[in-house]
Amino acid sequence: MEESVLIKIKDDISTALGKRQKQFGTGNRVEILAVTKNHPPKLIVDAFNSGLTQVGENRVQEALHKQAVIGNKDIQWHLIGHLQTNKARQAVGIFDIIESVDSLRLLELLDKEAQHINKVQKILLQINIAEEPQKTGFSVGDYETAVTKIDNFPNLSLQGLMVIAPQTDDTEKIRSVFRKGYEFFAKLKEVQPVSILSMGMSEDFSIAIEEGANQVRLGSALFGARDYSLKF
Ligand SMILES: *Cc1c(COP(=O)(O)O)cnc(C)c1O
């Protein structure tokens, strides 16, 4: 990653923060989650050395491999891809935050696995706000049920929400999804001590920030195209 790229992104983040029309319950700072999937381990080390200490990976296997190569650094590992229930144990073993929690069954399993290793697992709930059938995430109805049950899981610590915008050029549609994301967050904050609203990727992070995001998940904007030929 070129240093100038990171400077430009931080600049864009400041501009978007400046365009906010109101005060949000997510504060005035935006964290960058460096999405390093389909990039080699060395890229994570470079990102870390540039001050990007929070890393997002989509797959348990790939993250395991990279952690083994990189060794013990002060990196915060986030899982942002759909988690299969049979990988729950491994995920709890290696991720600081699991952002892509999308079912009640997964909540139960993660709590059980975290209890096994005496960990309090930080999680976000992912909501499929646009209700896109091909996308993961809780449906709105299931999300609302999950929130009512969250206190039943002593080994999970709910930190906030993760939202993915629909893939479209229609920026107003994208904006309305992020706006709803913030509304869900604000409502959740009334009943749970949440602080993270993870919304926005390379193509739409400015809109997400304008609508209240305080974590953006950036891959290609930081690191260029992913290399899908890499095997982990
Ligand atoms: C891949 C991915 C990203 C990053 O996507 P870019 O468009 O490259 O920034 C962010 N969030 C999730 C959930 C992803 O799967």
Q: How far is the CA of 82 from the centre of ligand 1 (A)?
A: 12
Whole-number pLDDT of residue 188: 98
Q: How far is the CA of 108 from the centre of ligand 1 (A)?
A: 26
Ligand 1 atom 4, closest CA: 219
Ligand 1 touching residue 35 (CB < 6 A): yes
Model pTM?
0.97
Ligand 1 atom 11, closest CA: 217
Would you give the distance in Å from CA 158 to the centre of its chain? 13
Whole-number pLDDT of residue 27: 97
Q: How far is the CA of 88 from the centre of ligand 1 (A)?
A: 21
Beta bridge partner(s), residue 127: 138, 163
Under a CB-based contact definition with an 8 Å cutoff, are residues 161 and 185 in contact?
A: yes
Question: Nearest Cα to 24, choosing from 203, 191, 181, 218?
Answer: 181
Cα torsion for 195, 111, 109, 95, to the nearest 10°? 60
Q: How far is the CA of 201 from the centre of ligand 1 (A)?
A: 6
Pocket probe for ligand 1: among 78, 132, 201, the residue whose CB has the most ligand atoms within 8 Å is: 201
Whole-number pLDDT of residue 173: 96
Write the pLDDT tens digit of every residue in 74-96.
999 999 999 999 999 999 999 99
Residue 202 alpha carbon, nearest atom of ligand 1? 9
Rounded distance between C-alpha atoms, residue 118 and residue 115, angstroms: 5
Taking 50 as the pLDDT cut, the residues of the chain under it are: none
